[in-house]
Amino acid sequence: MGLFDGLRSALGMSAEADATRDADPEDLFGMSTAHLTMEADLGFEPASVAALCFSGVDSTDFADTVEEVEAILDAGEVETGTEARFVDDSHGYEWVVLEDSDFEDLVTSVHFAADTLIERGYGSRLLAALFGFEKNGPVYWVYSFRRGAYYPFAPRPGNERESSVEFKLESVLDGELDVEGDKEYWYPLWPDTGTHPWE
C-alpha cells in the first residue's frame, strides 16, 4: 500500500466508514492547553508551525471557498502575524500551512480555516490538522477529522518513527486530548522531500 492509498484509508474513506463520532472543529482548541503540558511536563518546544490538510473539489464554489479562507487569513496576518501559505502535495491533497511563534494564534487560524470549509459544506473534505513540536527531532499531534481524535507522530529519517516518544505522548496527554485508541489509525504522514508532511 503506497502513501496515497494509506492516507486515503487512514484519514479518508475507511475512516469515514469507521468514524467513532462526528469530528468537531472545537476539538482543535484542546491544543491550547495541551501545548503547555508538552512544554512544561515533557520539554517539547512548539515548532511555530501548524497545517490543515484537505482534499479538493473541482468546482468553482470550492475554489471560491478556498479563496475566502486565504483572503481572511491574509487579512488576519496584520493583526496576529500568522503567515499562511497554500501548498499542493504530490498526492493530490491541499494544505494550509501556518507559521507563528504564538501557539494560540496557530490554533485559532487552523480552527478558522476548518470551520469555514465546514460552514461552506466541505467538511467531508477535511482530512487532518497538524501541530508541530520539536525535541530531538520533529513531533506532531495529528487531528483526524474523520475519526474525531488526535494521535502523535514522531517521524525520523529513513521513514522511521520513534514509537517510544509517541507512546509517551499518548500516556501523558490522553484525557487532555481525545487520543485515537486504535493505533491502526496512527498513520504516518511522511514528507516527500522536506522535513514536514506537506513538503
Q: What is the pLDDT of residues 146-176, one digit of tens each?
A: 899 999 999 998 889 999 999 999 999 999 9
Question: What are the φ and ψ backbone dihedral angles of 59, each rounded to 5 degrees?
Answer: -150, 155
Average pLDDT over residues 19-47: 87
Res. 90: pLDDT tops 60: yes
pTM for this predicted structure: 0.88
Q: Which helix (H) or strand (E) holds 1?
A: none
Cα separation of 57 and 152, whole Å? 28
Which pLDDT score, from 0 to 100, does residue 13 have?
A: 46
Q: Which residue has the cell 469530528?
A: 23
Res. 4: pLDDT tops 70: no
Neighbours of 25 (CB within 10 A): 21
- Chain Cα centroid distance, residue 166: 16
DSSP code for 12:
I
Res. 7: pLDDT tops 60: no
Average pLDDT, the chain: 88
Cα separation of 89 and 183, whole Å? 25
Res. 1: pLDDT tops 50: no
Neighbours of 5 (CB within 10 A): 12
- Please write the tens of the pLDDT for every residue from 115-151: 999 999 999 999 999 999 999 999 999 999 989 999 9
Cα separation of 71 and 167, whole Å? 39
Question: What are the φ and ψ backbone dihedral angles of 117, each rounded to 5 degrees?
Answer: -60, -40
Give me the domains of the chain, ranges plus CATH numbers. Answer: 3-181 (3.30.70.1130)
Res. 53: pLDDT tops 50: yes
Q: Which helix (H) or strand (E) holds 126?
A: strand 126-134
